[in-house]
Every structure is written in C-alpha cells, then in structure tokens.
Amino acid sequence: MNRNSIPTFVGVFVSLLVIGLLHRFIVVDDCLDHGGVFNYENNTCLLTNGQLQEFSLVSMLILLYAVVGFVVSYLVATTIRKYLKSKAK
C-alpha cells in the first residue's frame, strides 16, 4: 500500500464510523425517545400503538451524512499527513 494512501484510507474509515454514530443518534434514538422499537433489518420504527414512524427528513439526512463524511475524512487525513511529515523530519 502506498504511504500516501494510508491517511486517506484511515480518514474514510473514521468518517464511516462517525456517520454510523450520527445515524444512530439522529434516527434510532429519536425512535426510542418516542417509545418505539427500531428494526435494523428494515430501518423502520414501530411505535407502541402499532404505527410505523416515517422519517420525513431523509433527503436532508443524506446530505448531512455526505457533508459530515467529506469533512471528517479530510480533517483526519490532513492531520495524519501532518503527523507523518513531522515524524519524518
């Protein structure tokens, strides 16, 4: 693996972890706060009265995940590159 690609790979991996945590915080916790049960297989929230909770902000969530992914990946990769460059000197 090329030494220059390691920071990018780590940045993408960390951004995927952050997006997963953000998704859990926004969607799953919202479902649980309303007294529902979240089904991970279908990505649906079943409320206690038997209704499915609809998430109306899906397109905004996708945009938020993309922006957060790019920003986190860039910041992590840049930080690792600076660290490796300072260690090489």
Give burial (CB, 10 Å; 0-12/13-18/19+) of 77: buried
Q: How many CB atoms lie within 10 A of CB 27?
A: 18
pLDDT digits (tens, 9 = 90+) for 39-66: 888 778 888 888 887 777 778 888 999 9
- Yes or no: say if 73 and 3 are a contact pair by the CB < 8 Å rule: no
Q: Give the span between the Cα atoms of 28 and 63, in whole angstroms.
A: 18
Answer whether 80's CB lies under 8 Å from 7's CB. Answer: yes
Q: What is the pLDDT of residue 75?
A: 97
Question: What is the tens place of the pLDDT at every residue in 71-88?
Answer: 999 999 999 999 988 887
